[in-house]
Amino acid sequence: MPQFADLLAQAVQQKKTPVLVGLDPRYAQLPAGLQTAAGPTDWQGQAAAYAKFCRGVIDVVAPLVPAVKPQAAFFEQLGPPGLAALAEVIRDARNAGLLVVLDGKRGDIGSTAAAYADAYLGAKGQSPWGADALTVNPYLGDDSLTPFVDTAVARDAGIFVLVKTSNPGGKTFQDLLCPERPLYQHVAQLVEQLGETSLAQCGYHAIGAVVGATYPEQLAELRAAMRRSWFLVPGFGAQGGTAAGVAPAFDSRGLGAIVNNSRGIIFAHARLEYAQSFGDARWQQAVEAATITMIEALRADTPAGQL
- Tell me the torsion sign for CA atoms 83, 4, 58, 306: positive
Task: Determine contact, residues 109/144, Cβ cutoff 8 Å.
Answer: yes
Round to whole Å and give the CA distance between 95 and 229.
Answer: 27
For residue 249, what are the contacts with CB-CB under 8 A and spacing of at least 6? 211, 219, 223, 231, 233, 256, 257, 259, 302
**Amino acid, single-letter form, for residue 18:** P
Residue 74, by phi and psi: left (phi above 0), alpha (psi -120 to 50) or beta?
alpha
Known catalytic residues? 105
Round to whole Å and give the CA distance between 171 and 132.
Answer: 29
